[in-house]
Structure 1
Amino acid sequence: MSRATKIVATLGPASSTPEVLERMLRAGVDVVRLNFSHGKAQDHIDRAQMVRDAAQRVGKVVAIMADLQGPKIRVGKFAEGKVMLSDGQGFVLDASRTEPGDEHGVGLDYKELPRDVRPGDVLLLNDGLIVMRVDAVKGEAVHTTVTIGGELSNNKGINKQGGGLTAPALTAKDMEDIKTAASFQCDYIAVSFPKSATDMEMARQLCNVAGEPWRHRPALIAKIERTEAIPNLESILKVSDGIMVARGDLAVEVGNAAVPALQKRMIKMAREMDRVVITATQMMESMIVNPVPTRAEVSDVANAVLDGTDAVMLSAETAAGKYPVETVQAMASITEAAEVADEISLDGDFTNKTFGRIDQSIAMGALFTAHHLGCKAIIALTESGSTALWMSRHKIHVPIFGLTAQPVSLCKMALYRNVRPLLMPSYEDRDDALMQAESVLVEQGVLKPGDTYAITCGEPMGHPGGTNMLKVCQVR
């Protein structure tokens, strides 16, 4: 695989057969997203097993990400399933309403809305397609005037322009879903709508408790989709393993125009803090119904790659679209083309930087050496995957191979940019481990006689965080 940027694809009705899933994996999917906003616990357990079975048939390391639903900040249901709202009409959002909605008003799944808004606030419904201005709050009823009308149907989402909704990031359903995800040892859990580091710390505690019976601790991804998360971005990153640039809800809250600059800032900050980053939402939206992407979508995906994102994500495109396999193929070809054109400035990355840890210094030394010697590969013998992660934070055209005996570390590395995870038996003797690592890459066709490669490991072998050796070798 020559592609460095990873592809995350969402499972759904269009992709939940073993045949389609296997074709998607062969086309380039590295991480499969299970959307916990839909389906029952057993559905996700079954799909996780299907992913692992398909990955084994394909002979590929594939990570599984459980995406929590988060708070349901939504309107209720309508008697006719939907209503048409006109500009200038009055409309009531009533938390106490129990009967189905009509053209005059509707109930709320989110009962705290009357306490979160005040006259003059702007509410955006259905991903911002419908806009309402709050005129008055009377008890449990929020009286509004529709400023941009349109069709409003059952259970559409509500955002407040500029943020400020108090809904907690983790709901009772999320807590149960964390237990479900722990039961099949998912590799990543994505937390929806966190506002602060405290939200992520709570999620971490819940995950640790839920995973204790299996001695499993998933990595945590913070989905940045609230206005309040932006000033707290650094503190959120410190307590997370990565972030998702969730451009849908984020754009509704901060405005579409602000999102591109925020995306670049988030990707840059995540890489500088040694965290992974996924760019998501509407990347190939037109391919839900069309066999080819628009030129704008091609540029969007390519720009995320050039920004340095670890992964680009597909949602409805693979979950419900007509062309799930073709969409993955198109995304893979776009990312490859962007990477070829990407300029490498590795020396500049190290200017004025200091490294306080031996293992991190060794990782940086391997990058520098491989870049200037023109090595065919960089091999990181790793227990936790940290060495491969640090290497992946810097752009380099030399592929990085993370070799580990730990299945958990293996799958987590599937998300790291430019890292190819490979399973290798554990060795106590350093020389045996080095010989086996070279043998694995020769068998894979990555290395051939005469090729030079850089390899890192730790002595004594088998201790996480113990990388302390860099060696440059030539295949005989």
Structure 2
Amino acid sequence: MARRATKIVATLGPASSDPAVLEQMILAGVNVVRLNFSHGKAQDHIDRARLVRTVSQKAGREVAIMADLQGPKIRVGRFAEGKVHLEPGAAFVLDAARTELGDVDGVGLDYKELPRDVKAGDRLLLNDGLLVLQVDAVKGEQVHTTVVLGGELSNNKGINKLGGGLTAPALTAKDMEDIRTAMSFQADYVAVSFPKTATDMEMARQLCNVAAAEFRHKPGLIAKIERAEAIPNLESILKASDGIMVARGDLAVEVGNAAVPALQKRMIRLARQHDRVVITATQMMESMITNPVPTRAEVSDVANAVLDGTDAVMLSAETASGRYPLETVREMANICAEAEMAEDVMLDADFSGMTFSRIDQSIAMGALFTAHHLGCKAIVALTDSGSTALWMSRHRIHIPIYALTPKLATQRKMALYRNVRPLLMDQNAERDMALADAEGHLKQRGILSAGDIYAITCGEPMGAPGGTNMLKICRAE
């Protein structure tokens, strides 16, 4: 299998819950498994998390688990027939007070605040923008609309407002309960749906830290950027998170399809500048839900995200409910590896004009620079928290970064970092012994051979988080 820097996030679902299939997917290149809390009960997620841990151990590949919260349900209610067909020009009423099932004239709302969030002239986009309604008037709990773009509308389809502006809070009571569930199995990452401000992320972090305190665990937080309001607050949301997800589905509906590719590039660039991770998601290999091969456009889409510098590319329905979960992972891994071969390394330009106030960050950058110019076989970071590896992974380099950590939680968290291969290794308190152990560990795995030059970073005293203060260039014995 080709060496690959970009990580793959795969969503677990009925198509991938068989242990043998999941093991094959992990061996084919899945680095992070996403549990989608929009579906299933708490016990289902607990069972699936246990499955992931067992199978990854059997496969000999530690993967991260990401719990993806549902967020507010901004959706229509249910229909008597399960669905209706709306004709352009027809009147249709969205009624927050309606209790009976919907019909061709109107439907109830899961989202009761809609009448207060819209006014005449607004446009509502339903079912990912496939249907468009123009708001004519708001009368009490009823939103009277005219169908602009018609089609089939079925139970519980999503509602977006063009340009954003729905007041639903990012964290619901269900999300708070789901955070407790996710922390009970120590999910490595929690993805927060529909955050609008940094405050949403700060609140999620507090809830996670409280729920995880008894397990001495701290998950990484991923902000899913899918609302128009999040765009002006992007930088502050980034700073309050450990990473972001370019959630192109809802985002495209709110800001328009054409705006998304440039936004994707900007988000990836900003995340890297702020030392945060970034996942590119939604419809990456959509056609492979039913087809054994991707379209040319999908291949280009995945390759472009890789060339933009994303840490990870994500699969949703493709692996959760698609017919070809394993083939999809293999195809994606190949596309990533091919695209990376075409990348330019611009380290010298990256570092010009940069100033470092921290010793550990300077060491990380020094390791990259030296390894690049010396043509090292590997860069090795002895790390407790994973910070050194994260900083190194923000810059493009064709040399693999091996992060050796004594902490399982750190190893799993680093599974998402681009070009970082996290390995578990107990660290000797004595520096020279620790360095010798690291070399032995990598030689045993066939990563280093006698005569190979590599760069290694560590901190003295050993084991102090944030204490990386040493860079050594070695020749393997």
Q: Same fold by TM-score, threshold 0.5 exceeded?
A: yes
Q: How far is 1:215 from its partner?
A: 1.0
- The aligned runs of 1:68-147 (5 Å cut-off) are 68-147=69-148
- Is 2:200 aligned against 1:187? no
**In structure 2, what is the equivalent of residue 24 of structure 1?**
25
The one-letter code of the counterpart of 2:241 is S
- Is 2:168 aligned against 1:167? yes
- Is 2:53 aligned against 1:58? no
| Partner Cα separation in structure 1 for residue 10 and residue 61 of structure 2 | 15
Deviations 1:241-280 (A, max 9, x none): 0000000000000000000000000000000000000000
| Partner Cα separation in structure 1 for residue 3 and residue 371 of structure 2 | 17
- The aligned runs of 1:143-158 (5 Å cut-off) are 143-158=144-159
Which SS does the other structure have where 2:14 is aligned?
coil
TM-score (norm 1): 1.00
Deviations 1:175-220 (A, max 9, x none): 0000000000000000000000000000000001100111111000
Q: How far is 1:426 from its partner?
A: 2.4
Which SS does the other structure have where 1:237 is aligned?
helix
In the TM superposition, structure 1's runs of 4+ consecutive aligned residues that sit over 2 Å from their partners are: none
Which SS does the other structure have where 1:291 is aligned?
coil
| Partner Cα separation in structure 2 for residue 416 and residue 466 of structure 1 | 20
- Comparing 424-433 with 247-256, greater Cα deviation is found at 424-433
The one-letter code of the counterpart of 2:83 is K
**In structure 1, what is the equivalent of residue 49 of structure 2?**
48
The one-letter code of the counterpart of 1:277 is V
| Partner Cα separation in structure 2 for residue 48 and residue 426 of structure 1 | 28
| Partner Cα separation in structure 2 for residue 425 and residue 205 of structure 1 | 31
| Partner Cα separation in structure 2 for residue 239 and residue 433 of structure 1 | 34
Which SS does the other structure have where 1:30 is aligned?
strand
For the aligned residues, what is the CA RMSD? 0.5
Identity of aligned residues (%): 77
**In structure 2, what is the equivalent of residue 399 of structure 1?**
400
**In structure 1, what is the equivalent of residue 427 of structure 2?**
426
Deviations 1:34-77 (A, max 9, x none): 00000000100010010011110111120000000000000000
| Partner Cα separation in structure 1 for residue 87 and residue 27 of structure 2 | 48
| Partner Cα separation in structure 2 for residue 61 and residue 444 of structure 1 | 15
Gaps of 5+ in 2: none
Q: How far is 1:473 from its partner?
A: 0.2
Deviations 1:402-422 (A, max 9, x none): 100011111000000000000
**In structure 1, what is the equivalent of residue 292 of structure 2?**
291
| Partner Cα separation in structure 2 for residue 191 and residue 399 of structure 1 | 30
The one-letter code of the counterpart of 1:438 is E
Gaps of 5+ in 1: none
**In structure 1, what is the equivalent of residue 265 of structure 2?**
264
Deviations 1:365-410 (A, max 9, x none): 0000000000000000000000000000000000000100011111
Which SS does the other structure have where 1:24 is aligned?
helix
- Is 2:14 aligned against 1:13? yes
The one-letter code of the counterpart of 1:364 is M
The one-letter code of the counterpart of 1:90 is A
- The aligned runs of 1:296-445 (5 Å cut-off) are 296-445=297-446
The one-letter code of the counterpart of 2:173 is A
Q: How many residues align?
A: 476
- Is 2:256 aligned against 1:255? yes
| Partner Cα separation in structure 2 for residue 51 and residue 408 of structure 1 | 15
